[in-house]
Amino acid sequence: MSGVYRIDLTCPSCGAAMSVEEGQEELFCPYCGKKMLIVREGDKLTAKEAEDIAYGTERGKLRARDELVRSRERRKRIGRWKRRLITLLCIAAFLAFCVIFRDLRRPLVSAFDYVELHFSGVSGEGKAEYTLGSFPEEVDEHRIHFELSPDSGLKNGDSVTLRAESEDYRLKEKLRKYKVSGLESCLSELSSLDEETLSAIHREALEEIRKGYFPMTMNGRKQDEELGWKPLSLFLSSEGEEKNALYDLIEIDYRTRDGGQFSFYGLARFQNLLVRPGGSIRYQKLFALGDFVSLGSTNDDSLIGFSDPDAAKAALKSEQNAGAELTERDLS
């Protein structure tokens, strides 16, 4: 007959000492009456209250059931989103098909083949406009809308864009870019001036210089006689196609009231001068530079200008903008 082995334990409820036979699975505390189960934790036997074990077991079952419910709900949500996504994709595909089908039914037109672009004005202030040519009979030009941008403030070399839109036609192109050219530009080289243009410049310059003649008589009659004139030099201060200043230096000889002769130097400034075909000129402003110069003695008449050419050259050089290029053409 085998012996009986007892193992000493402590009641987890009241702390009383207990003993249990090997192989026994449950017992009651002889002091507090709590029912306990014998649990092996590693190599050690431990007494735990039956309520705690039952509660832990039930809690584990509830947690497992909650996880199962959440997993099922998650799968349902994913399924609903998949169905919605498939529905949206089907709708989008259907709409795209309708648009493509509608577009394919419209006639194909190369609209830009019937449009001409025109540039006018001065470089820096140029304008662009388009005109419609003769469209085929089957194409209604009023059902094609064109938009040009930019259409003002243009200079040679700029780029403009013409866009076309239509609800009734398929367009081979919806935009086309054009390079600005052919605009009038300010004078940039003195060597390009021919005799006809030079004559026009001197004529305008002399007229402006003579406006500065001031008689010293009470009745306003001139005392000094103009004997002749000759151009000495042209000076060009250029800042590209959009800006320039042209200076015309002219020597004018006068016979003073006492019979002497006096050489006067007039300087006229043309602001933003451009030359047109045929020798005509255009400019924004024209005025004479200098101070009142007496044509002889203090009793002679006076004129706005300079008493020597070096003073005139110094005056025009003092007006130069930073970065402007100054060139001279000797005309004497």
pLDDT in tens, 111-169: 999 999 999 888 888 999 999 988 888 888 888 999 999 999 998 889 999 999 988 88
Q: In 14-34, which positions are buried (b, 16+ CB within 10 angstroms) versus exposed (e)?
A: eeeebebeeeeeebebeeeeb
Backbone angles phi and psi of 30, in degrees to 5: -70, -10
Non-local (6+) Cβ contacts of 236 within 8 A are 187, 188, 189, 190, 244, 245, 246, 247, 326, 327, 328, 329
Check: CB of residue 237 under 8 Å from CB of residue 267. Answer: no
Length, in residues, of the chain:
332
- d(CA 201, CA 231) in angstroms, rounded, equals 10
Residue 17 above 60 pLDDT? Answer: yes
5 band by pLDDT with thresholds 50, 70 and 90: very low
- The residue-averaged pLDDT of 187-208 equals 92
Give percent above pLDDT 90 in the chain: 38
Indicate if the alpha-carbon torsion angle 226, 227, 233, 238 is positive or negative: positive
Boundaries of every domain in the chain: 1-104, 109-179, 190-330
Q: What is the pLDDT of residue 283?
A: 92
pTM of model > 0.75: no
List helix spans (H) across the chain. 50-105, 195-210, 309-317
DSSP class of residue 241 equals: S
Rg (CA), the chain: 52
* Highest mean pLDDT out of 155-159, 217-221, 275-279, 285-289: 285-289
Indicate if the alpha-carbon torsion angle 171, 175, 181, 186 is positive or negative: positive
Residue 73 above 80 pLDDT? Answer: yes
Non-local (6+) Cβ contacts of 312 within 8 A are 249, 265, 267, 289, 290, 305, 306
- d(CA 88, CA 72) in angstroms, rounded, equals 25
